[in-house]
Structure 1
Amino acid sequence: MVSAPYHLIALDINPLAVEYCKSIGLNVHLIKEDGIFPVANGAFDACILDNVLEHLKHPRSTLDECYRITRKEGGLIIAVPGVRGFESDPDHKKFYDAETLRLLDDRWLLQSLFSIPFLFSSEKLSISIKQYCLVATYNKI
């Protein structure tokens, strides 16, 4: 059994992943083919897209849903792979760098931009280390 905060809800498009997560006690819901998140408007304090956007050819509908499900003063956290991580997965469709994250969506105000597992951004690390990710945090405008 996995321990997670009771107020944490996960969403996924993969029915097998959802089934597995539910089997270990996680609160997970399936995003149906229409892409609509199965939750109410303004239901969450924040939406987290961790290594999701780069898999989407057209991310606008996902960003629309994040906007819809977060409360008025809600937040958005996005993590995307660096260059090497992006190039390592053939399912990755769109690369995001600091500039594209800054200009991502005018409904969200960028609060911070940093990298993990390092606290500083580095083009050299992005090219060299597969685990390097760029993280952006936003507040709803």
Structure 2
Amino acid sequence: MTTRTATARYEGFGKTGKGQLDSQSGVLAATPYSFNTRFGDEKGTNPEELIAAAHAGCFTMALSFALAGAGFTEGTLETTASVKLDQDGAGFKISRSDLDLKANIPGIDIEQFAALAADAKANCPVSKLLNAEVSLTHHLA
């Protein structure tokens, strides 16, 4: 079993509060987040952006391993995840994650590509974690 950690620290409350995120790997180190990084244009990150990065990375790695298992040895994958935050009564909810995949895989046909991509979408650990609707759009060059 593998466990990874991240820590969030928030000082102050509501719209005037400010936070920072730190990750075990050090990739996030005192990375700012706040109301204005989430809903405005202040420099920093936000939970939806981090979930989008996690989902794009997890799906792309899962598909990479599926392609290797199917005998493909070269090519490129680029996935953009768009995580949607909607108002939910007095609060908010993450309602969906949309994956947009651009791929160049010599020798693959569209049916095999679509099947491997759909399986990776359904079975990457982050897709399994999310209770949001997960969609996938893919483009094969």
TM-score range, shorter chain: under 0.3
**TM-score, normalising length: structure 2:** 0.26
Q: Which has the larger radius of gyration?
A: 2
**TM-score, normalising length: structure 1:** 0.26
Q: Which has the higher contact order (CA 8 A, sep 6+)?
A: 1
Task: Give the structure with the larger strand fraction.
Answer: 2
